[in-house]
A and B are shown apart, each in its own frame.
Chain A
């Protein structure tokens, strides 16, 4: 075995790279930078929808025919080979169906994270490796240096959270050329390079729900399972069509006619699919000081004793200092300050704070929370 320091990472030597190109500005510039770095780059657009829409609907879908054309146009401008890979079945099985099942089970999944774990850096990376590629490059905003995954320079765009679920062997085959650039610079670079997508809006929604209406999407796929909404005193304050309509921390759209006795807003505190109960109550009841999380993945040696770190519990925000202990069934996390709106099903990503960019240590899926 070579010592780690003797192994050149993908970023340092010329390799054959498969650039995943969504048709957006980030992945186009990422492909361009990889090519300029001397890598042998081939562009691939992942077709994730069984029936791609002709034009984008709503804010932005990521697998319309138009997106595929945009990706192809960028690849042509960059003068790199370009193909479309059909991963619709895998995407349905590994991302969309678990997404629906998680909601039905009263949890709040993050499909982007699952797509990175199961599609981009699993199905695509495995296939790419078998075809003779060394790595998959994407337009994610994160830095990967010496095997360490760090936050991007642009704090607003940082995507280390949705990459935090990747195993070391997956990260070994990953290249993120945008991690050291602010978004504005990436857009300017796209314009300079003559890429037609320079002004294309960012994607915010879940790509397979282009309308942005997650509730409607779920309602088509999950049978109604009506139940009661119960406040902390045990009083039934309303009814609902199914726990899948809710997320912990949600305030709007609860459909409770009668205000709380003290007149303060109610929030979703917890979802109990078996008894079909939605627990609601005041904001302070949302405070979480401890959580358990399952299926941990470590990018460092798994800690033996208590690990002092920072934990992030959702894609944007929800960051706090914590102590992590590895147990038999996952990890126990004690937060130094209470956090609100911690939803089971989301990932807890553990960071080591660092002035040069926080380093991802590992992650796990939030199972339970307590005050």
Chain B
């Protein structure tokens, strides 16, 4: 099996799996006062410190949560509510057009149910948000924006934003800045303090940790209204009994992934560049989406996103799947129907080309053999998918 869908989820690192399974056998609620509780609390706090250290945050800035979707919702809604409460004129939400639905739909929900106005920031042809675009949007309604959210790295095309510069502009206008960094942490250097952002989402299962464990890094001075009310855990911002094994495993994975970043970047970049070059050699009219490979710092090292003119992405996916190669076409609706990606459309691709696109995402256990398998399959697969596209147009 050739698994090239690490951006969807990546296998757990052995040490993270070991931490998790070991901890599963132990009792203890981190809020309890007895010794089992103290043990659990110590494990949580050590994990928190470990995560904080790996991503340049203070331990008190780590708000543990279940993952990217929860962290994104908490940040977008929580920062919005708090900022609007402090200044009722601030009712605008600014998000980039390339955001994950966890951010986009949270913004849309605020617009539908909380009287917010959602402004979507356009992206350039590589999927990047220009600093000038953000400045313009803020300047158009000074004093009215409550929150800005722009992702650190895009999940589909791997484009890395200049988050630090974007956050700086938001702050010039007195607006808190959130970034969804679930694809970035463990893949590119992320330093919370140096980035200047107010809130940052990360999740375990994209970096070798468990599904269901993640965090929102939240500056001490960032006001955030909670989504979940209850026992007052996590600075009263996120109530709920903490998942001790999950958090411990998350910490192990974050530490391991971040510690290995240099070596892994070199390996993945080489594999990815090889994959793209050889796929394009097999299918000359295939085109790479996102940032060109000669600008390595601006693209996730494991991301190869390609369009194959004349093909339906779901035909390609099916044919590759039948050959044991697992990749992704982007998003599907709830009924499972493949939809052209909103990210690609925002980048200016037409509907057909957007539909004929595949994402190969490499990760910590990817090998040269994986690349060979794709290169061997892609020519015949594309040829067949094109015939199927023609057949559909003809019949």
A contact set with B: CB distance below 8 Å? 42, 45, 47, 52, 54, 63-65, 68, 72, 81, 83-86, 88, 90, 122-123, 126-127, 129-132
- The total of interchain contacts (Cβ-Cβ below 8 angstroms) comes to 66
Closest chain B CB from A278 CB (angstroms): 37
In the complex, given contacts A63-B335, A64-B335, what are 4 additional A-B residue pairs having Cβ atoms less than 8 angstroms apart? A52-B335, A126-B395, A127-B392, A131-B385
Interface residues of B in 304-337 (CB under 8 A from A): 314-315, 317-319, 321-322, 332-337
Instruction: Please determine whether A127 and B391 come into contact, CB atoms closer than 8 angstroms.
Output: yes
Which partner residue on chain B sits nearest A45 by CB separation? Answer: B336
Interface residues of B in 83-99 (CB under 8 A from A): none
Instruction: Please determine whether B388 and A54 come into contact, CB atoms closer than 8 angstroms.
Output: no
Instruction: Please determine whether B384 and A131 come into contact, CB atoms closer than 8 angstroms.
Output: yes
Q: Which of A63, A81, A122, A123 contacts B318 (CB 8 A)?
A: A81
Which partner residue on chain B sits nearest A94 by CB separation? Answer: B395
Which partner residue on chain A sits nearest B392 by CB separation? Answer: A127
Instruction: Please determine whether A65 and B334 come into contact, CB atoms closer than 8 angstroms.
Output: yes
Instruction: Please determine whether A83 and B314 come into contact, CB atoms closer than 8 angstroms.
Output: yes
Bound complex: CA A70 to CA B314 (Å)? 20
A/B interface sample: 26 pairs, CB < 8 A:
A45-B336, A47-B336, A52-B335, A52-B337, A65-B334, A68-B335, A68-B336, A83-B314, A83-B318, A84-B338, A88-B337, A123-B395, A126-B392, A126-B394, A126-B395, A127-B391, A129-B391, A130-B387, A130-B388, A130-B389, A130-B390, A130-B392, A131-B384, A131-B385, A131-B387, A132-B319
Contacts A81-B318, A84-B335; A123 near B392 (Cβ below 8 A): yes
Bound complex: CA A68 to CA B333 (Å)? 11
Closest chain A CB from B394 CB (angstroms): 7
Q: Which of B314, B334, B391 contacts A126 (CB 8 A)?
A: B391
Q: Give the residues in chain B near A130, CB-CB below 8 Å.
A: 384, 387-392
At the interface, is chain B mostly helix, strand, loop or mixed? helix
Q: Give the residues in chain B near A88, CB-CB below 8 Å.
A: 337
Instruction: Please determine whether B337 and A47 come into contact, CB atoms closer than 8 angstroms.
Output: yes
Bound complex: CA A68 to CA B338 (Å)? 13
Q: Give the residues in chain A near B314, CB-CB below 8 Å.
A: 83-86
Hey, what's the 0/1 contact readout for B353-395 against A, CB within 8 Å counting as 1? 0000000000000000000000000000000110111111011
Bound complex: CA A68 to CA B335 (Å)? 6
Bound complex: CA A83 to CA B319 (Å)? 11
Closest chain A CB from B111 CB (angstroms): 21
Closest chain B CB from A66 CB (angstroms): 9
Q: Give the residues in chain B near A86, CB-CB below 8 Å.
A: 314, 337-338
Q: Give chain B's interface residue range (CB within 8 Å of chain A).
A: 20 to 34
Instruction: Please determine whether A84 and B332 come into contact, CB atoms closer than 8 angstroms.
Output: yes
Instruction: Please determine whether A122 and B395 come into contact, CB atoms closer than 8 angstroms.
Output: yes
Bound complex: CA A81 to CA B322 (Å)? 8
Contacts A123-B392, A126-B394, A126-B395; A131 near B318 (Cβ below 8 A): yes
Query: 7 closest Cβ contacts across the A-B interface?
Result: A84-B336, A130-B388, A126-B391, A130-B387, A126-B395, A130-B391, A68-B335
Q: Give the residues in chain B near A68, CB-CB below 8 Å.
A: 335-336
Bound complex: CA A179 to CA B313 (Å)? 35
Bound complex: CA A65 to CA B333 (Å)? 9
Bound complex: CA A54 to CA B333 (Å)? 11
Q: Give the residues in chain A near B392, CB-CB below 8 Å.
A: 90, 123, 126-127, 130
Instruction: Please determine whether B337 and A131 come into contact, CB atoms closer than 8 angstroms.
Output: no
Instruction: Please determine whether B321 and A65 come into contact, CB atoms closer than 8 angstroms.
Output: no
Bound complex: CA A90 to CA B318 (Å)? 20
Most chain B CB neighbours (cut-off 10 Å) among A81, A123, A127 = A127
Q: Give the residues in chain A near B332, CB-CB below 8 Å.
A: 84
Instruction: Please determine whether B336 and A131 come into contact, CB atoms closer than 8 angstroms.
Output: no
Which partner residue on chain A sits nearest B380 by CB separation? Answer: A132
Q: Give the residues in chain A near B391, CB-CB below 8 Å.
A: 126-127, 129-130
Contacts A122-B395, A130-B387; A84 near B322 (Cβ below 8 A): no
Bound complex: CA A86 to CA B392 (Å)? 12
Bound complex: CA A127 to CA B315 (Å)? 9
Closest chain A CB from B357 CB (angstroms): 15
Q: Give the residues in chain A near B315, CB-CB below 8 Å.
A: 127, 131
Bound complex: CA A6 to CA B113 (Å)? 68
Bound complex: CA A42 to CA B319 (Å)? 11
Q: Give the residues in chain B near A45, CB-CB below 8 Å.
A: 336
Q: Give the residues in chain A near B322, CB-CB below 8 Å.
A: 42, 81
Bound complex: CA A86 to CA B336 (Å)? 9
Q: Which of A54, A90, A127, A131 contacts B334 (CB 8 A)?
A: A54
Q: Give the residues in chain B near A72, CB-CB below 8 Å.
A: 336
Q: Which of B335, B385, B389, B395 contacts A47 (CB 8 A)?
A: B335
Q: Give the residues in chain A near B338, CB-CB below 8 Å.
A: 84, 86
Q: Give the residues in chain B near A52, CB-CB below 8 Å.
A: 333-335, 337
Instruction: Please determine whether A132 and B321 come into contact, CB atoms closer than 8 angstroms.
Output: no
Q: Give the residues in chain B near A126, CB-CB below 8 Å.
A: 391-392, 394-395
Q: Which of A65, A122, A131 contacts B319 (CB 8 A)?
A: A131
Instruction: Please determine whether B388 and A42 come into contact, CB atoms closer than 8 angstroms.
Output: no
